[in-house]
Amino acid sequence: MSAPSLSRREFIAAGAAAGSLVLAVDLRGATRRVPGPFAPEFAPNAFLEIGADGGVIIWVSKSEMGQGVRTALPMIVAEELEADWSKVRIRQADADPKYGDQGTGGSESMSGMWRPLRKAGAQGREMLIAATAARWGVPAAECRAEQGAVLHQGSGRRAGYGELAAEAARQPVPEAPVLKDPATFRLVGVGVPNLDTPSKVTGQASYGLDVRLPGMRFAVIARCPVLGGTMKGHDPEKARAVPGVRELVEVPAGIAVIADSTWAAMQGRKALDCRWDEGALATLDSGRISRMLNDRSLLGGALARNDGDVPGALAAAAKTIETVYEVPFLAHAPMEPMNCTAQVVDGRCELWAPNQIPGWAKQEVAQAIGFDAANVTLHVTMMGGGFGRRLLPDYVVEAAQIAKAAPGAPIQLVWTREDDMQHGWFRPASVHRMKGGVDRAGKPVAWLHRVVAPSISEQRWPGSVRNGLDTDAVEGATDIAYAFPNLRVEYGMLNTPVPVSWWRSVYPSQTAFANECFLDELAQLAGRDPVEFRRSLLAAAPRHLAVLNLAAEKAGWGKAPAGRAQGIALHRFWSDSIVAEVAEVSLVAGKVRVHRVTCAVDCGLVVNPDGVKAQLEGGVLYGLSAALHGQITVEAGRVQQSNFHDYPVVRMPDAPVIEVHLIRSGDVPKGVGEPGTPPIAPAVANAVSRLTGTRVRKLPIVV
């Protein structure tokens, strides 16, 4: 797969084939296939259509994976349009340059689409008002839009959007429409039920695995169990003898078994009796990788930040401490495994895929099967979780390769959860060597954070990391808000053969653990309360301080019930959302039990409060699963975990009470899909350390 050398955020933003965002695409006269009887009369831009019946269609160009963009993004358009929310319907956009950036990741859907979608709605509103003014022969200034209609203030006349749609379509599209004063918002900030909820409850929501087409067949791929291994041979006759198996197709990943059902395909794969060339990694194991990371942490690294004189300050400090934190590889483990349906007919490839960067997937498919990108169509389906796994186009490319080798019938490629757990992409493992010191008054004087981890960028695009510094790998370390007079951050790149990629919150899920646990250790060294210690370092960071104080206040810091302890952690994510979390923890039968998590967040203007709270709750639970249970280990070159029985997640009986408190802000929305995840592991670890008297420096937490 090919792609330019970009940071993750830049790369996601470049996911659409076109590059620049199309804010106003004139679609008048164009025809688009829209499910149902809806016939648009008015389409001022790529995101909005209004029919003669007053129905409003809003096209969502971001991928829905449970984060609520199919509700929150339409709210922005509807707010500026002054639409009647009960008449709003949503449609998922296919991969198409006219929508601009369709990449969904980096917690940037809201911040990235805030202004474009406000403009889209405002364009529609102004054109509807202009059409009304022309119809009645009155100044446009005397008309206002309200709840799906335009009203004339002088006469009290009213015209609905449906009856105005055709006339509005003849108005010029304003390039710089006047946006509403946020003080007049009636929808944004109030919150509405998720538009997808009814279809999910009734089972009508269509995910990638739900795609069904006439004559469809199903495929799975037999892959070498060893990382980097290849197939030497197999017995095709045994597989062909399985009822329902239709065809075997060689693809770069292995052998695809095509059948009438997924069950038949999986049974055919079992019967293949494959012979493998295990390759050079057949002796790779997690212990060796851990030793390599720890050994590398003893050496210097590429300089990422250097304030003051850390070596000199450490030498002069009254007390110093040096510790090492370690985190493992992690799987994404979405509930819906990877899948894609592909059909190749007459030189065209049509795809149905749950994917986070459809523009990139479309490009990679075109390159892999030798088609012009114009002859590749990708329909984006809903997805049962993504967490970064569906940023990658590998499973989409494989489906297209199979469909090209067996053209005609649509073929749905399915990765079982075992396939994805053992052959997917993983969050990097890392080691963090920390050094710090305080003076005689307990004031911190020095901070050194040496990050040692594989580089996602370098593994994916060799040569992209210059001078040994991957700036993505030190995110959360270099931008720490605590005011240390002497602060140094280094990066030691240590790439391993284990395939790594972006995982929910990526490197901050690791750097925040090291930062916030070590800060507690420094507070203990200084004999100071962890919250008070943090406050003393945040005088120049008022937003951070406000979030910290709110979390501590709402959690009742220092008032944990008998037998429990509290731990706190604070993190600013690159989306500029700041989250603090307090975990209340006990030990039950020798195991960590998290009873309550209090979360405070400043994420700018909140579009849908219920959606924000749900996202932060989900981020906490996702990070808690990793903190308590998550690890991918390798033995003899093989990933050992395969499903939720040996890669457990937090289940309902063990889920804590989660309280989310929002700091209201007039700033633009900041994004919350990932910021809730980094603070939970250190918050729990700090609570466990206070409870047991033994510091937690390795994940998952074991007591």
Summarize pLDDT for 635-647 with one digit per residue, the tens: 999 999 999 999 9
- CA-to-CA distance for 300 and 244, rounded, in angstroms? 59
List domains and CATH numbers for the chain.
8-202 (3.30.365.10), 208-278+338-414 (3.30.365.10), 286-330+426-692 (3.30.365.10)
Looking at residue 569, its pLDDT comes to: 99
Looking at residue 474, its pLDDT comes to: 98
- Cα dihedral 198, 112, 148, 382, rounded to 10, equals -20
Q: Are 402 and 219 in contact (CB under 8 A)?
A: yes
Looking at residue 570, its pLDDT comes to: 98
The SS3 call for residue 33 is coil
- How are strands ordered across the β-sheet holding 565-572? 565-572, 578-588, 591-602, 657-662
Looking at residue 76, its pLDDT comes to: 98
Bridge partners for 453 per DSSP: 493
Handedness of CA 581, 582, 587, 593 (dihedral sign): negative
Looking at residue 6, its pLDDT comes to: 54
pLDDT, the chain, mean: 94
pLDDT under 70: residue ranges of the chain? 1-39
Q: Are 428 and 500 in contact (CB under 8 A)?
A: yes
Looking at residue 20, its pLDDT comes to: 25
Looking at residue 664, its pLDDT comes to: 87
Distance of alpha carbon 376 from its chain centroid, rounded?
A: 25
Q: Which one, of 359, 391, 278, 457, lies nearest residue 99 by Cα?
A: 359
- CA-to-CA distance for 395 and 400, rounded, in angstroms? 9
Looking at residue 40, its pLDDT comes to: 85
Summarize pLDDT for 34-89 with one digit per residue, the tens: 344 456 899 999 999 999 999 999 999 999 999 999 999 999 999 999 999 999 99
Looking at residue 32, its pLDDT comes to: 34
Q: Which residues of 584-610 are buried (b: 16+ CB within 10 A; e: fewer)?
A: bbbeeeeebebebbbbbbbbbbbbbeb
Q: Are 583 and 564 in contact (CB under 8 A)?
A: no
Radius of gyration, alpha carbons of the chain = 27
Looking at residue 369, its pLDDT comes to: 98
Looking at residue 483, its pLDDT comes to: 97
Q: What is the DSSP letter of 442?
A: S
pTM for the complete prediction?
Answer: 0.94
- CA-to-CA distance for 131 and 133, rounded, in angstroms? 5
Q: Are 293 and 326 in contact (CB under 8 A)?
A: yes
